[in-house]
Chain A
Amino acid sequence: MANYTLRVRRHKPETDDRGPAGPYWEDFRVSLDPTLSVLDGLLQAKDRQDGSLAVRCSCRAAICGSCGVKVNGQSTLACKTQIGEAQSGANRVTEGRHAARASRPGSEPIVVEPMGNMPVIKDLVTDMESTHWAKMRQVTPWLLNDGEPPEREHVVPHEAMVDITQTISCIQCGACVSSCLSMEASPEFIGPAALAKAYRFVGDPRDAQAKERLYELAQDPHGIYDCTHCFSCIDACPKGVAPMDQIMRLRRLAGNDHEIDDQNNGHRHEQAFVKIIESKGTLDESLLLQESFAPGVKGKLVPRPSAIKGLLESIPTAVRGIRTGKMRSLSKLIPGVHPKLPGDSQENVKKIYERAEESRVQFNLYISGTDKEMAENEDTSESAEEATTV
């Protein structure tokens, strides 16, 4: 048993004698085994100190996805976070920031807040409907297949289903939505959970609307190209869904497999970047800017009004860059002047392109596992066999 302080962000919207209580912090001292969870700590505080403390939970085993909260700023499940580890996390931040000062181990409160990017209903309970579920419905989260239903079940190749197992693992807890830094700046962003769900159907061979789904997600100003690639959702997800990786797979399919030329310039930007490295080896920033918005005369694409607007919007920034000397050289001013890699290096980069564009292998660690894991599994099965033999 050990003692912990849970510093809980409380919010009681209901009116009592003192009127509605806006957000405030309240400390609860709890006493439990370090291997028990932050949820166990919260439930103890609710049981012994204040029955009005609101927290949503059910299975307590990281299966139901009800108890999403932020612990020390990190979106997670309260039931999947050991309280002892949360304590180390809280101490580490204080000690690490003041490395020079004497540390005070064990004295920092564990900070527990409701999930972010969602309205708070009460204390640690958020309104999942207005953000999470509404966005989930935006991606049509059910199978859309063509023609008459088969007489018996659909037969699907094993590999095709393995491909989408990662997204199927989602338990709808909302931790990724809570952590999403794009959504913080752009509340309309469809977001990590719903986009991971979109991949679940785009990647399903029984779904006949993959291209239509991708088209909508690419064209939407708050679709796949509104993700800033910050990895927050990957660290927040308690089930290894890696929503950002699924968003990147959606982009790969939309841009490359279906050549969807979206109005957000997502595909053009990617194409421009890829082309520049093939011909120059390193990034020619001015060419990237020009090509992203208005592909040159050799390109087949014609700039659209939104692209011209984008290019015009970047002019004041360029002027400032020239004034301070950031862009005061020919290679930075004129797209295309940027030098190639020396010797035969550029030629070698081109060869890498030819081969990789032909084979396009996708290696997903979640599915394949690592050599190390495989070896460990073999060890385990061997010892299991031995155990049976004995």
Chain B
Amino acid sequence: MKLAYWPGCVSRGFTTELHGSMALVAEELGIELETLDRANCCGAGVIAEHNQELADTLNARTFALAQETGLAMMNICSTCQGAMSECQERLDASAAYRKHINEALSGEGLEYVAGKDGFTNKNFLWLLVEDIGLETLRSKVKRPLEGLRVGPFYGCYVLRPKARLGYDEHPERDLYLEQVIDAVGGQVVDYDGARKCCGFPVITMNRETSLTQAGTHVGDAIDSGADCLVTPCPLCHLNLDLQQPEAAKVVGRDLGLAVLHLPQLIGLALGFEPKQLGMQRHIASTERVVERLTGANV
């Protein structure tokens, strides 16, 4: 399977371990990635908040670059998925609006074509379940994550709004993390925060609200017996992992729960070593995850 690949900004910025693990895991799963290195930031909802037309044009440019390759497109960030799907919804809704936006791309020889055959923009989680399939994933597992108790953390942008994010066609998209954890042999931990907000979008505006959210969800997962969380969103990772010691201060309790990127969890099951997956770069220690796996392999 060959895909046009939009890694996003944060996976090449503060969470390079995500970008690195994705490359390893893709190869193992038989995915060839053609990186869209000319593409721009999705705007993360912030640019749309500033100027909707600007956000729509910037994302139309990325879609057009992907369409130029003739391949379906994959992203590895819930926030990219949500921000891009929002723009795509408007672009697909009206031929007149699309024409207006495409005029801005014509200088570069680009055009976004709505409903172009074979073009989709899916994040790795959706692609993994819908296009690769849980059975294929199961068959490739070399190290079942037996005994590892994993709490799913989706990120808002792949959950809501349902009407925009393809839930009519794929109603189980809000259950895929559980299905994937199960497929790689892990144990799903049910806890209150799995589908809530990590608080990242307001970290620079209302630190208290933001870190209360992150700290509460991490705390709930710990109380439910999780060894780690797994998330398909690097921005959630920043608030849940990078900010975890600060979140602990805000919610007034000890935390200390590893937060894995989705490709890291898959990578562990495919037999990669924690260090290859950059797990030493995390702020919240991943030692417990490693111990569980070593224990399971003895």
Residues in A lying within 8 Å of B, measured CB to CB: 92-93, 96-100, 181-182, 184-186, 189, 221-222, 225-232, 234-235, 242, 248, 251-252, 255-256, 264-266, 269-271, 273-274, 277, 281-285, 289, 292-293, 310, 313, 316-317, 320-321, 324-327, 332, 341-345, 348-349, 351-353, 355-357, 359-363, 365, 368-372
Interface residues as binary, B69-93 with A (CB distance below 8 Å gives 1, 0 otherwise): 0000000000000100000011011
Q: How many residues of B contact A (CB 8 A)?
A: 79
Chain B residues 26 to 66 lying within 8 A of chain A, measured CB to CB, are 37-38, 40-41, 43-54, 56-58, 61
Chain B residues 1 to 30 lying within 8 A of chain A, measured CB to CB, are 9-10, 12-16
Cβ 8 A contact of A92, one of B100, B105, B171: B171
A-B contact pairs, 21 of them (CB 8 A): A92-B172, A99-B175, A182-B209, A185-B213, A186-B212, A231-B161, A248-B48, A265-B205, A266-B205, A277-B43, A277-B58, A282-B41, A283-B13, A332-B13, A344-B108, A348-B107, A360-B51, A363-B90, A365-B89, A370-B93, A372-B93
Q: Is B123 close to A, CB under 8 A?
A: no
Q: Which residues of B contact A282 (CB under 8 A)?
A: 9, 12, 40-41
In the bound complex, CA of A386 to CA of B37 (Å): 55
In the bound complex, CA of A341 to CA of B37 (Å): 8
Asked if A292 and B209 make an inter-chain contact with CB atoms under 8 angstroms apart, the answer reads: no
Cβ 8 A contact of B178, one of A97, A226, A310, A316: A97
Asked if B245 and A316 make an inter-chain contact with CB atoms under 8 angstroms apart, the answer reads: yes
In the bound complex, CA of A272 to CA of B5 (Å): 27
Q: Chain B binding site: helix, strand, loop or mixed by DSSP? A: helix
Q: Which residues of A contact B242 (CB under 8 A)?
A: 317, 320-321, 326
Asked if A226 and B160 make an inter-chain contact with CB atoms under 8 angstroms apart, the answer reads: no
Interface residues as binary, B87-103 with A (CB distance below 8 Å gives 1, 0 otherwise): 00110111101001000
Q: Which residues of A contact B208 (CB under 8 A)?
A: 186
4 closest A-B pairs by beta carbon, nearest first, are: A231-B160, A96-B175, A283-B9, A356-B54
Q: Which residues of A contact B207 (CB under 8 A)?
A: 310, 313
Asked if A352 and B61 make an inter-chain contact with CB atoms under 8 angstroms apart, the answer reads: yes
Name which residue of chain B comes closest to A74, CB basis. B162
* Least Cβ–Cβ distance between A6 and chain B, in angstroms: 22
Residues in B lying within 8 Å of A, measured CB to CB: 9-10, 12-16, 37-38, 40-41, 43-54, 56-58, 61, 82, 89-90, 92-95, 97, 100, 104-105, 107-108, 134, 156-157, 159-162, 171-172, 175, 178-179, 182, 188, 190, 196-197, 199-202, 204-210, 212-213, 216, 242-243, 245-246, 280-283
Asked if A269 and B41 make an inter-chain contact with CB atoms under 8 angstroms apart, the answer reads: no
Asked if B161 and A96 make an inter-chain contact with CB atoms under 8 angstroms apart, the answer reads: no
Asked if B182 and A99 make an inter-chain contact with CB atoms under 8 angstroms apart, the answer reads: yes
**Known contacts A356-B53, A363-B93; 11 further A-B pairs (Cβ under 8 A):** A226-B202, A252-B51, A256-B50, A274-B50, A285-B10, A293-B204, A326-B281, A342-B38, A349-B61, A351-B104, A372-B93
In the bound complex, CA of A271 to CA of B94 (Å): 29
Q: Contacts A99-B134, A351-B107 hold; do A185 and B209 have CB atoms under 8 A apart?
A: yes
* Least Cβ–Cβ distance between B287 and chain A, in angstroms: 13
Name which residue of chain A comes closest to B43, CB basis. A277
In the bound complex, CA of A350 to CA of B232 (Å): 31
Q: Contacts A96-B178, A248-B49 hold; do A356 and B41 have CB atoms under 8 A apart?
A: no
In the bound complex, CA of A242 to CA of B160 (Å): 12
Q: Contacts A99-B134, A252-B51 hold; do A229 and B45 have CB atoms under 8 A apart?
A: yes
In the bound complex, CA of A98 to CA of B97 (Å): 43
Cβ 8 A contact of A326, one of B14, B43, B50, B58: B14
Of listed B46, B82, B196, B210, residue having the most chain A CB within 10 A: B46
Asked if B49 and A363 make an inter-chain contact with CB atoms under 8 angstroms apart, the answer reads: no
Cβ 8 A contact of A321, one of B14, B159, B280: B14
Asked if A230 and B94 make an inter-chain contact with CB atoms under 8 angstroms apart, the answer reads: no
In the bound complex, CA of A369 to CA of B15 (Å): 39
Q: Contacts A235-B160, A248-B49, A356-B53 hold; do A228 and B246 have CB atoms under 8 A apart?
A: no
Q: Which residues of B contact A343 (CB under 8 A)?
A: 38
